[in-house]
Amino acid sequence: MQTTLVLEQLLNGLQFGLMLFLLAAGLTLVFGIMDMINLAHGSLYMIGAYLIASIAAASGSFWLGLLGGIGATVLVGVLLERAVLQRFYRRDHLSQVMGTFAIMLMANEAVRMLWGPQPIQLNPPAALAGPVTLAPGLSYPAYRLFIIGVGLLVALGMYWLITRTRIGMQVRAGASNREMALAMGANVRLLFTALFAFAAGLCALAGGMLGPLLAVQVGMGESILILAFVVIVIGGIGSIRGALLGALLVGLVDTAGRTLIPLLFRQLMDAELAANAGPAVASILIYLLMAVVLFFKPSGLFPARG
């Protein structure tokens, strides 16, 4: 029983970590290349989840909702970048934080006006609704396995894009030495817009994947945005490889800690005390992990400007 529980939590951590990677990959590229602190990144995740849920409900198809929602969120991201965020590129980080925080608040209110204050339902496709038997005594939801597969495919696709294509070469050059990349003639405006559109699409994909597991509700982007920032600090700003490793570490530590630490505490102390202390300790594990990594590697595990 305990072995089964550990395996389930490892799979849950892998699934959550890969979804964090989708958010952190776009965030670390925007921060590393555009030097832009974008607190509205989580709002695109929320908007993507709402659009996917609405299109899926209207069409009756999760897949049409996913494709349509991602495309619509990319369009929202491009419009946001062209209309508003371009004005912040040459501003200091404090101006960027304040400006994108205001966008985040306005996005929350806009979603509340359009969809109402109550969470909305996003159901997984019927073909993936049941469990899959992975081993004797170990069944795991098919939809969560699908999420793991999608996350791995996106990670491999991003690896190929970054390491094997011309635009990937420009992205790596911009992440490692932004000024030199500009001096060598990179189309900065087009590259920035393309990066922001790509990041918005990844946000929508993460929102659509996690929507059936978590509540699609106003403000859903804030808590996961904090985790995404923890991921890029651990992995190294501007590094896709660091974002992947950092996301997997955070996903595994957060998921396993919330389940296993309370169980461990029940073996060591009174049940009531364990019930209070276990979740509290589990919630700080990822920040302890970040502190340990920064103590030994102040620039993160794989800094792009290393």
Tell me the pLDDT tens digit for each residue of 31-40: 877 778 889 8
Tokens of 30: 């925007």
pLDDT for residue 302 is more than 80: yes
CATH number of residue 47's parent domain: 1.10.3470
Which pLDDT score is estimated for 102? 93
- How does the average pLDDT of the chain come out, rounded? 84
pLDDT for residue 265 is more than 60: yes
CA terminus-to-terminus distance, the chain: 45
Residue 130 falls within a domain, yes or no?
no
Banded model confidence at residue 263, pLDDT cuts 50, 70, 90:
confident
The pTM assigned to this predicted structure is 0.88
Residue 306 falls within a domain, yes or no?
no
Q: What are phi and psi of 284, to 5 degrees?
A: -100, 0
> What's the whole-number mean pLDDT along residues 271-295?
80
- Separation between Cα atoms, residue 58 and residue 134, nearest integer Å: 34
- Separation between Cα atoms, residue 189 and residue 184, nearest integer Å: 14
Residue type, 299: S
* Region at 87 (left for phi over 0; alpha for psi -120 to 50; beta for the rest): alpha
- Separation between Cα atoms, residue 82 and residue 76, nearest integer Å: 10
> What's the whole-number mean pLDDT along residues 37-52?
92
pLDDT, tens digit, 9 for 90 and up, residues 97-114: 999 999 999 999 999 999
pLDDT for residue 306 is more than 60: no
Residue 196 falls within a domain, yes or no?
yes
pLDDT for residue 305 is more than 60: no
Residue 159 falls within a domain, yes or no?
yes
Residues 75-79: contacts with CB within 8 Å, 24+ apart?
A: 76/44, 76/47, 76/200, 77/44, 77/196, 77/197, 77/199, 77/200, 77/201, 77/203, 78/193, 78/196, 78/197, 78/200
Tokens of 1: 């029983």
> What's the whole-number mean pLDDT along residues 209-217?
88
Tokens of 62: 């999760």
Q: Helices (DSSP H) in 142-270: which residue ranges?
A: 142-164, 166-176, 178-183, 188-210, 220-235, 240-268
Domain total of the chain: 1
DSSP 212: T
- Separation between Cα atoms, residue 257 and residue 59, nearest integer Å: 39
pLDDT for residue 304 is more than 90: no
Residue 134 falls within a domain, yes or no?
no
Q: Quick one: which of 143, 150, 145, 159 has its CA closest to 25?
A: 159
Most confident of 26-35, 194-203, 233-242, 276-285: 194-203
298, with CB counted inside 10 A (0-12, 13-18, 19+), is exposed
- Residue 26: other Cβ atoms inside 10 A: 29
Residue 301 falls within a domain, yes or no?
no
Q: Quick one: which of 70, 49, 52 has its CA closest to 61?
A: 52
Which pLDDT score is estimated for 184? 66
> What's the whole-number mean pLDDT along residues 254-267?
77
Residue 33 falls within a domain, yes or no?
yes
Q: What are phi and psi of 135, to 5 degrees?
A: -160, 165
C-alpha dist (Å) from residue 190 to 24, 87, 199: 21, 15, 14
Residue 261 falls within a domain, yes or no?
yes
Which pLDDT score is estimated for 178? 63
pLDDT for residue 280 is more than 80: no
Q: Which domain holds residue 181?
A: 1-125+141-296
pLDDT, tens digit, 9 for 90 and up, residues 54-81: 999 999 899 999 999 999 999 999 999 8
Which pLDDT score is estimated for 66? 94
Residue type, 55: I
Which pLDDT score is estimated for 146? 92
- Separation between Cα atoms, residue 12 and residue 15, nearest integer Å: 5
Interhelix angle 142-164/2-34, nearest 10 degrees = 30
